[in-house]
Amino acid sequence: MSDVSGVVRFEGHLGYHPTWICEACAEPWPCHTFRNIPTENFRDKLLPVMSFMLRTAIRDRREQAHGPEPYEIVKRFLWFLGLTDDEARASAATVR
């Protein structure tokens, strides 16, 4: 059983620094299974956790020759906010 900082508990589907690949299904994390967890009841707790991980994922990406662009990582990690590409780019620009 995995725990995302006390927010939600579920089997397996977590990704970790520096690869951000799901430990259960080997998809880019957050994977499809993780993104399908209903977020309505804990969105306020999920946002800071995912934002923290997002910053690390963008920094990890900067050290790789290939991979998603920072705004794509923002959209992937903050899927539950429904950001547009422009909003994701603006958010990614603030991550150092």
* Predicted confidence (pLDDT) per residue in 20-35, tens digit: 999 999 999 999 988 8
Average pLDDT value over all residues in the chain: 83
**What global pTM score does this model have?**
0.76
CA 8 to centroid of chain Cα atoms: 14
pLDDT score, position 6: 54
Q: What's the rounded Cα separation, in Å, for the pair 41 and 67?
A: 32
Lowest-confidence region among 6-15, 46-55, 65-74: 6-15
How far is 33 from 74, CA to CA, in rounded Å? Answer: 18
Nearest of 33, 43, 78, 35 to residue 58 by alpha carbon: 78
Reduce the DSSP state of residue 37 to 3 states and report it: coil
Distance in angstroms (rounded) separating the CA atoms of residues 66 and 14: 22
Percentage, residues of the chain above pLDDT 90: 32
